[in-house]
Amino acid sequence: MRLWRYLAISLWFAVCGASSSHLPWHASLADQPRTLVDILNRDEDYSLLLSLLQRARLIPTLNKLNGSTLFAPTNDAIKRRSGKDSLLQRALEGDELEVPDNVQEELRQQFFYHLLNYTIPVPGEEPTTQTLKTLHFPRRAISPPTREPPPFPPWLPIPEGTLGGEPQRLRLTSRDDTLWVGTNAFGQGGVEVVKSRTNASNGVVYGISDMLQVPPSLEDFLNETSCLSLFMPVDAAWESIDPLERLYLESEFSDDDRRRVLGMHSVVEENVKWSESFASSTKMTTEYGSVLDVEISSKGATINGTKVVQPDVYASNGVLHLVSTFLIPPGALQLTPEKYLLTLNCTSFVSLLRSVNLTHLINNSDHRYTILAPKDDVLSFFANDGLPKAGSEDLKQLLQYHFIPGIWTPKKLDHGALLETELREPGLDDGRQVLQVEVHNGEKSAADSKHISFGGAGVIGDYVDLNNTIIYFISRPLEPPVDPLQAALPSLDLSSFLAAVFSTSLADVIKKTPRTTFLIPRNSAFKRLGRLVSDHLLAASSKADLENVILHHVIDSVRYSKSLVNESQRTFPTLEGSDLQLERTDNGSVFIRASGGWADMQSALYPQNLLTKTGVVHEVSDLMIPRTVELNVGKLMKAAKATTMASMITKAGFDWVLNGTAPPGDSEWAVLCPTDDAFKEFNLTELLGNQEVLRSVVSQHLIPTSFSGSGAAEPNNNNRPLPLYDLGTYSTLLSPSSAYGDIVFRTLEDKSESEYMVGIKGARGTDGKTDWARVLSWGRTTTGSGTGGVIQVDRLLLPYHPRWWIEYGPPSFVGAIGGTEAQSPEDNKNLAAENVKSFIAGGFGGVCAVLVGHPFDLTKTRLQTAAAGQYTGAIDVVRKTLARDGVTGMYRGIVPPLLGVTPIFAMSFWAYDASKTLIYALTPNRTSETLSTLELATAGFLSAVPTTLVTAPVERAKVVLQVQGQGTSSTQYKGVVDVMRHLYREGGMRSIFRGTGATLARDGPGSAAYFAAYEVTKKFLISKESTSDDLNLGAIIFAGGTAGVAMWSLAIPPDVLKSRLQSAPTGTYSGLFDCFRKTVAQDGITALWKGFGPAMARAFPANAATFLGVEASRKLLDSLF
Instruction: Give pLDDT tens digits for 268-284.
Output: 888 878 887 888 778 89
List, edge to edge, every strand of the sheet that includes 756-760: 702-705, 668-674, 789-793, 772-780, 756-760, 743-747, 728-730
**Positions of E strands within 636-716:** 668-674, 702-705
Is the pLDDT reported for residue 29 higher than 60?
A: no
- SS3 label, residue 206: strand
Residues 6+ apart with CB under 8 A from 216: none
pLDDT digits (tens, 9 = 90+) for 154-167: 667 878 776 667 78
Spatial neighbors of 895 by CB under 8 A, at least 6 apart, are 961, 975, 976
First to last CA, the chain: 102
CA distance 453 to 476: 11
What are the strands, taking DSSP E only, across 768-904? 772-780, 789-793
| pLDDT at residue number 369 | 94
**Could you tell me the pLDDT band of residue 808, with boundaries at 50, 70 and 90?**
very low
**133 alpha-carbon distance from chain centroid:** 49
Per the CB < 8 A criterion, the answer to whether 798 and 683 are in contact is no
Give the Cβ contact number of residue 1044 at 10 Å.
Answer: 30
pLDDT at residue number 548: 94
Question: pLDDT-derived band of residue 28, with 50, 70 and 90 as boundaries?
Answer: very low
Beta strands in 871-1021 (DSSP E): none
Average pLDDT over the chain, rounded to whole?
Answer: 80
Q: Which of 90-99, 477-486, 649-658, 673-682 has the highest mean pLDDT?
A: 477-486
Beta carbons of 693 and 652 less than 8 angstroms apart: no
Q: How confident is the model at residue 689 (pLDDT cuts 50, 70, 90)?
A: confident
As to burial, measured by CB atoms within 10 angstroms (0-12 exposed, 13-18 middle, 19+ buried), residue 367 is middle
How far is it between the farthest Cα atoms of the chain? Answer: 162
What is the Cα–Cα distance from 57 to 161, expressed in whole angstroms?
21
Q: Could you give the count of Cα atoms lying within 13 Å of 572 in the half-sphere of its Cβ? A: 29
Cross-strand pairs, 702? 671
Sheet with 403-405, side-by-side order of all strands: 403-405, 369-374, 469-474, 464-466
Q: What's the DSSP call for residue 56?
A: T
CA 302 to chain CA mean position, Å: 69
Give the pLDDT confidence score for residue 25 in this predicted structure. Answer: 35
| Pairing mode, strands 516-521 and 615-620 | parallel
Whether 222 shows a pLDDT value over 90: the answer reads: no
Q: Do residues 514 and 546 make contact, with C-beta atoms less than 8 angstroms apart?
A: no
Give percent of the chain with pLDDT exceeding 70: 84
Separation CA 615–CA 611 (nearest Å) = 6
- pLDDT value for 1055: 82
Q: Is the pLDDT of residue 518 over 50?
A: yes
- Alpha-carbon gap, residue 1102 to 1041, rounded angstroms: 7
- Tell me, what amino acid is at 880? K
pLDDT digits (tens, 9 = 90+) for 64-79: 888 899 999 999 998 8
More confident position, 733 or 331: 733
Residue 954 · residue 897 · CB < 8 Å:
yes
pLDDT tens digits for range 286-313: 988 889 999 988 888 899 889 998 887 7
Contacts of residues 307-312 at CB distance under 8 Å and 24 or more positions apart, as own/partner, are 308/275, 309/234, 311/275, 311/278, 312/274, 312/275
Sign of CA dihedral 791, 794, 800, 805: negative
Spatial CB neighbours of 171, under 8 Å, sequence gap ≥ 6? 17, 18, 129, 130, 131, 132, 181, 182, 183, 184, 185, 187, 190
The mean pLDDT value for 470-494 works out to 93
Edge-to-edge strands of the sheet including 282-285?
266-268, 228-233, 318-323, 306-315, 300-303, 291-297, 282-285
- Average pLDDT score over residue span 833-851: 76
CA distances from 458 to 369, 453, 455, 566 (A): 19, 4, 8, 28
Task: Tell whether the model's pLDDT for residue 825 goes beyond 50.
Answer: no
- Please tell me the predicted confidence (pLDDT) of residue 823: 47
- Cα separation, 486 vs 339, whole angstroms: 37
Burial class (CB in 10 A: 0-12, 13-18, 19+), 791: buried
Percent of the chain with pLDDT over 90: 25
What pLDDT shows up at residue 219? 67
Burial 1087-1099 (b: 16+ CB within 10 A, else e): bbebbbbbbbbbb
Give phi and psi for 679, each to the nearest 5.
-100, 5
Tell me which of 551 and 859 has the higher pLDDT: 551
Cα separation, 141 vs 919, whole angstroms: 117
With a CB cutoff of 8 Å and minimum separation 6, the contacts of 735 are 741, 742
Q: Within 13 Å and on the Cβ side, how many CA atoms surround 333?
A: 23
Helix%, strand%, coil% for the chain, nearest 5? 45, 20, 40
682-703 burial, b for 16+ CB within 10 Å, e for fewer? Answer: eeeeebbeeeeebbbbbbbbbb
Q: Would you say residue 1070 has pLDDT above 80? A: no
Closest CA to 1014 of 943, 947, 919, 962: 943
